[in-house]
Amino acid sequence: MAHLLHIARPYARAAFWCAKEKSQLKEWKAFLEAANVIVQTPAVLSLLNNPKAPIAKLKQLFTDVLKPTLNTQRENFLSLLALRKRFILLPDILKAFQAYAAQLEKESTVRIVTAVPTKETFNQKLVEALQHKLNRQVQLKHEINPAILGGALIYIGDRVIDGSVRGELARLLEFTQN
């Protein structure tokens, strides 16, 4: 229902913000997916639709089942949902959270480390090439580290492209020792 999604969005935005701040998107997504499974259970669904069902018991149920995925923030999130009687919104919160995560993934932060400062034209060409290669927006963060001697180290997420002189020397040394 569009009406429920409208109510769920602020909760999803808060969860997404917490996840992004702590770099825990995967953990929050897993938590929300597990909570969504609980809500979809017929017994829980009937409790949620019963206005006389004790909210404290519902919160305890969610806390017990989700214990492996909980941290302080996620436990506080459950408390807020319990206080506002919003557990029924979990499917819509999950949908909105996933939409926010998808938007975020369209942008990557790329870290480049060079021995000396680079010219702005080089940075622009690098960003354009990376955007074309990665098919997403790229935010460039530049660091100077004279220890790499020359060339560049490029960090894209968990990938590292080592085009540094120091890296080449290390590979040459390894080759000559084998």
Q: Are 138 and 110 in contact (CB under 8 A)?
A: yes
Q: Is the pLDDT of residue 26 over 90?
A: yes
pLDDT at 33: 97
Q: Are 47 and 58 in contact (CB under 8 A)?
A: yes
Q: What one-character DSSP code corresponds to residue 113?
A: E
- For the domain covering 107-177, report its CATH number: 3.40.30
Residues paired with residue 139 on neighbouring β-strands, in sequence order: 109
pLDDT, average across residues 160-173:
90
Distance from C-alpha of 125 to C-alpha of 37, rounded to nearest angstrom: 46
Q: Is the pLDDT of residue 17 over 70?
A: yes
Q: Is the pLDDT of residue 20 over 70?
A: yes
> Which pair of tokens denotes residue 36?
């969504």
Average pLDDT of the chain is: 91
pLDDT, average across residues 126-155:
91
Describe the chain by its helix, strand, coil percentages, rounded to 5: 65, 15, 15
Domain 2-104 matches domain 107-177 at the CATH topology level = no
Name the pTM for this structure: 0.61
> In this structure, what are the phi and psi dihedrals at residue 64, rounded to the nearest 5 degrees?
-65, -45
3-state secondary structure of 106: coil
**Sign of torsion, CA 6 7 10 15?**
negative
Q: Is the pLDDT of residue 57 over 70?
A: yes
Q: Read off the pLDDT of residues 91-139 as tens digits, 9 standing for 90 and up.
A: 999 999 998 887 787 877 889 999 999 999 999 999 999 999 888 888 8
CATH class of the domain whose range is 2-104: mainly alpha
pLDDT at 89: 95
Q: Is the pLDDT of residue 36 over 60?
A: yes
> In this structure, what are the phi and psi dihedrals at residue 160, rounded to the nearest 5 degrees?
-130, 130
Strand ranges inside 50-156, DSSP E:
107-114, 137-144, 151-156
- The domain limits of the chain are 2-104, 107-177
pLDDT at 109: 80
pLDDT, average across residues 38-59:
90
61 pLDDT band (50/70/90 cuts)?
very high
Q: Are 87 and 118 in contact (CB under 8 A)?
A: no
Q: Is the pLDDT of residue 22 over 70?
A: yes
Distance from C-alpha of 167 to C-alpha of 150, rounded to nearest angstrom: 10
